[in-house]
Amino acid sequence: MNSLRRTRLHGIGFFCLVAALLLTACEENLTVPEELEMPFSMYGVISPDLDTQSVRIYPVEPRLTLGDPDIAGEIRVSSTNMATGETTVWEDSVGIEENGQHEYIYEAPFRAEHETSYQILAERISDGARSVATVRVPAPVTVRMASVRPQGIDVIIVGDSIRVLKPIVAYVVRLAEGEFPVRRYEIPYQGEEERVPDGWRIEIKFARDARKVQGLYNAEEGALQGSNCGWLDLREMNINILVGNAEWDPPDGAFSRDILVQPGVLHNVENGFGFIGAGFRAVERLRLPREVIEAVCFNFYSP
């Protein structure tokens, strides 16, 4: 046997040995995860502000599909007023989005009541699997000003089990002299709300806002601003807040879809995914003393 042949045989032998050894522990199949038993994801808001309540339902599916119009008939959605025990079955409506995706919306024509809990139930008719959310609509809130200074106005929203969200301070202004339009400017205060013992507190940075509003008006209407104060009337100032139930509490008070998309973040559906909020919008007019208004160079307006 010459050396070449010997080398060749050794090579083939080694090749086969390595292959045989490594073939032993080779699983071809994929481990399949257990199927999630949660039937639905639900999203919506129960509110006294709306004359029709509605929820968006997504079946939790084993694969991504564009949906089927028949699915809506397979789901029964109802609400129960926990105070009266009254149950309402909601009507389904199926829509088709531009990309062909079916959407399942359920609605019921009633206005939610303050200080009332509602149980929203989505049930799969075929096997009775259910997802449930229970929410309580907060009581109306009172808004008061704790301190009023040109630099900052402390506004307290008094209420139990509430979460104040998306506060906006609106300024309605007009040039003190001449025929110029009334303009409304909204300054967002999202993320600046702070929990206090009797509710929530928002500090309105009045002087900063005044400079901003005057600048915006000036930019829109031309170079009207002189060096003097009082060229712009502050005709109205109000605060607009979303008053939600205590569970309506996104991280940092911000509604970032990229953060909230993860299941488990902002979640109150039992045996399912999603979130149903309860709340209302509150708007309160803020009446400030003349000296505070004039201290930030607004003209005190008296109709």
Partner 1 sequence: MQAALIRYLRSSIIFMWGISLFLIVSLVVVLSSEVSYAQSATLGGIVTDSADGQPLAGATVMLRSAASSQEDTPIYGAAADADGIYLIRNVTPGTYSLTISYVGYETFRDTLVLSPGERETRSVSLARSEEQLDEVVVEARESGMARVTAGHQRITPEDIDLVPSPDISADLANYLTSLPGVVTTGDRGGQFFVRGGEPSQNLVMLDGIILYQPFHLIGFYSAFPSEIIDRVDVFAGGFGPKYAGRLSSVIDVASRAGNNRRLAGLASVSPFAGSVRIEGPVVARKLSFIGSARQSFVERTGERLYGEQLPFYFADAFGKLHLRPGPRSTISASAIHTYDRGKLVEEIGGAEAQEIRYTNDGFGLRWLGLPRILPVTTELVATHSNHSMEQGAPGETARESEVRNTRIALHASFVGDSTVTVAGWEAVFSKAHNRLGGLFQNVEASNSSLHSFGFYAEPEYRWRALRIYPGLRLQFYSVRIDPYLEPRLRVEWDVGGHHLTGAAGVYNQQLVGLNDRRDPASVFTVWAGIPRDNESDDTELLHGRLGQGVHALVGYRSRPRPWIEYSVEAFYKRLTNLFVGEWTGFPRLTTRLQPATGRTGGFEARVELKRAGFYGYVTYGYSNTLYSAIGRQIELWYATEQLDFRPGHDRRHQVNALLSTSWRGFDVNLRWSFGSGLPYTRPLAFDGFALVDDIKRAEDLEHSRRVIYERPFSAVLPTYHRLDVSLARTMHLGSAHVKLQASVINAYDRRNLFFVDVFTLKRKDQLPLLPSLGIEVAFN
- The minimum distance between CB 121 and partner 1, in angstroms, equals 15
DSSP structural state of residue 197: T
Stretches 28-36, 120-128, 191-199, 288-296: which one binds partner 1 (CB under 8 A)?
28-36
DSSP structural state of residue 69: G
- Which residues are CB-contacts of 239 (< 8 A; sequence separation ≥ 6)? 143, 155, 167, 168, 169, 170, 202, 204, 283, 284, 286
Q: Is 186 in the site for partner 1 (CB under 8 A)?
A: no
- 224 dihedral zone (left: phi>0; alpha: psi -120 to 50; beta): alpha
Q: Is 167 in the site for partner 1 (CB under 8 A)?
A: no
Q: Is 140 in the site for partner 1 (CB under 8 A)?
A: no
Q: Is 24 in the site for partner 1 (CB under 8 A)?
A: no
Tokens for 77, please give them. Answer: 């959605």
Provide the Cα torsion 16, 21, 24, 28; round to 10°. -70
Of residues 46-85, those binding partner 1 (CB under 8 A) = 47, 49-50, 52, 54-56, 58-67
Residue 274, number of CB atoms within 10 A of its CB: 23
Of residues 93-112, those binding partner 1 (CB under 8 A) = 95, 99-101, 103, 105-107
Provide the Cα torsion 191, 193, 199, 204; round to 10°. -160
Q: Is 168 in the site for partner 1 (CB under 8 A)?
A: no
CB 232 within 8 A of CB 192: no
CA separation for the pair 8, 5 (Å, rounded) = 5
- The minimum distance between CB 244 and partner 1, in angstroms, equals 9
CA-based end-to-end distance of the chain: 117
Q: Which is nearer to partner 1, 269 or 296 (CB)?
A: 269
- The minimum distance between CB 255 and partner 1, in angstroms, equals 4
Q: Is 23 in the site for partner 1 (CB under 8 A)?
A: yes
Size of the site for partner 1 (CB under 8 A): 76
Q: Is 194 in the site for partner 1 (CB under 8 A)?
A: no
Q: Is 179 in the site for partner 1 (CB under 8 A)?
A: no
Q: Is 166 in the site for partner 1 (CB under 8 A)?
A: yes
Report in angstroms the alpha-carbon separations of 97 from 54, 59, 232: 18, 17, 47
Q: Is 283 in the site for partner 1 (CB under 8 A)?
A: no
Stretches 29-37, 143-151, 203-211, 283-291: which one binds partner 1 (CB under 8 A)?
29-37
Q: Is 270 in the site for partner 1 (CB under 8 A)?
A: no
Q: Is 1 in the site for partner 1 (CB under 8 A)?
A: no
- The minimum distance between CB 58 and partner 1, in angstroms, equals 4
CA separation for the pair 297, 131 (Å, rounded) = 56
Q: Pick from 265, 285, 287, 290: which binds partner 1 (CB under 8 A)?
A: 265
- The minimum distance between CB 30 and partner 1, in angstroms, equals 6
